[in-house]
Amino acid sequence: MKDSAAPTGLPFMKMHGAGNDFVVIDQRGRRAVMTADLARALGDRNRGVGFDQLAEIVDADGADFGLVFWNSDGSQAGACGNATRCVSDYVMRGLGVDRVSLTTARGLLWAERLADGRVAVNMGPPQLDWQDIPLAHAVDSLHLPLPGDPVAVGMGNPHSVRFVPDAEAVDLVAVGPGHEHDPLFPQRTNVEFASLTGPDHLRMRVWERGTGITLACGSGACATAVAAHLRGLTGRHVVLDVDGGVLEVDWRDDGVWLTGPVARVFDGVLSPDYIAAHR
């Protein structure tokens, strides 16, 4: 591939984890081509490919690979748990191993394939101090001074978790944007609504920062499980039913582990003309 993508086009993969879908571009050994305009164009489900997030695989010192994440509105995302799991599966298959190291904006992380085919990733420790999440000023992150008494948790990206009697009844389109753009979150926030459905079992729905409603959110599942434990609702190992499937979160001493299914749906090639029109 010369000069990024021209003249042969840019290969990509379409993947998903529990319905959380991604365009994945392997940029290792190549000059990066992604821009906010191109990411936004690719995220359009009518005029592009469509995705919840785009993941670029890049070279990384001291790790098997690195990841850079983009939202469908062209903004960058600091973390994406399900995309990390999907890409880790792809890299593990390429290397013929069941465990890999990777870097994101959070630093060095580890992922592994389980015997049942699911993939787990250590998303690192949760960020609970207000300045690390980040919040605009000092408040009690376990009880934010906002409607719904949310919990703020950082997982490399900010989350606002609200516990409600019935997550199914929440109108995400009506309430999600207002919470995402609340001034308390200077970098905007992902918004989760969760209800307890059994011992250590939650139903979670999500409005993702820069994307909107998604069928699953890996970092959101981690944040919700952490918040539920801190509120005394669950233990540290939680099963979450999301719109697209089932995720498991285990908050261990070494970090928050996210486990779930992965799928590689199809491969494609972006045309040189399309890339040139949106750079």
Give CA–CA dist 172/159, Å, rounded. 15
pLDDT at 189: 98
Assess if residue 129 is contained within a domain.
no
pLDDT at 267: 98
113 with 36, same domain? Answer: yes
Instruction: Outline where 12-152 has alpha helix (H).
Output: 36-43, 81-95
272 with 180, same domain? Answer: no
pLDDT at 4: 46
pLDDT at 7: 58
Helix (H) or strand (E) holding 216: none
Give CA–CA dist 136/148, Å, rounded. 19
Say which amino acid occupies 80.
C
For 189-213, what is each residue's pLDDT tens digit?
Answer: 999 999 999 999 999 999 999 999 9
pLDDT at 1: 34
User: Over the range 11-41, which residues count as b (16 or more CB within 10 Å of their CB) and which as e?
Assistant: ebbbbbbbbbbbbbbbbeebeebbeeebbbb
- By CB neighbour count within 10 A (0-12 exposed, 13-18 middle, 19+ buried), where does 102 fall? buried
Residue 78, domain extent: 10-123+262-277
Assess if residue 146 is contained within a domain.
no
Assess if residue 1 is contained within a domain.
no
pLDDT at 8: 79
Give CA–CA dist 101/17, Å, rounded. 19
In the residue annotation, 80 being an active-site residue is answered as yes
pLDDT at 3: 44
Residue 6 has pLDDT above 60, yes or no: no
Give me the CATH number covering residue 57. Answer: 3.10.310.10
For 122-156, what is each residue's pLDDT tens digit?
Answer: 999 999 999 999 999 999 999 999 999 999 999 99
Mean pLDDT of 14-21: 98
Give CA–CA dist 56/26, Å, rounded. 6
50 with 106, same domain? Answer: yes
- Give the pairing of strands 158-163 and 190-198: parallel
- What DSSP designation does 125 have? P
271 with 211, same domain? Answer: no
Over the chain, what is the mean pLDDT?
A: 95
Residue pair 186/207 in contact by the 8 Å Cβ criterion: no
Assess if residue 206 is contained within a domain.
yes
Residue 83 has pLDDT above 80, yes or no: yes
pLDDT at 58: 96
The torsion angles phi and psi of 140, rounded to 5 degrees, stand at -75, 110
Total of domains in the chain: 2
Structure tokens at 137: 């000023």
Q: Which of 206, 217, 227, 262 is catalytic?
A: 217
Q: In the chain, what percentage of residues exceed pLDDT 90? A: 94
3-state helix, strand, coil in the chain (%, to 5): 20, 40, 45
Give CA–CA dist 220/202, Å, rounded. 12
Residue 36 has pLDDT above 50, yes or no: yes
Write the CA distances from 98 to 22, 117, 249, integer angstroms.
Answer: 22, 10, 19
In the residue annotation, 86 being an active-site residue is answered as no
Say which amino acid occupies 167.
A
33 — pLDDT class (breaks 50, 70, 90):
confident
Assess if residue 269 is contained within a domain.
yes
Q: Which of 25, 33, 38, 80 is catalytic?
A: 80
If you compute the radius of gyration of the chain from its CA atoms, what whole number of angstroms results? 18
For 204-254, what is each residue's pLDDT tens digit?
Answer: 999 999 999 999 999 999 999 999 999 999 999 999 999 999 999 999 999
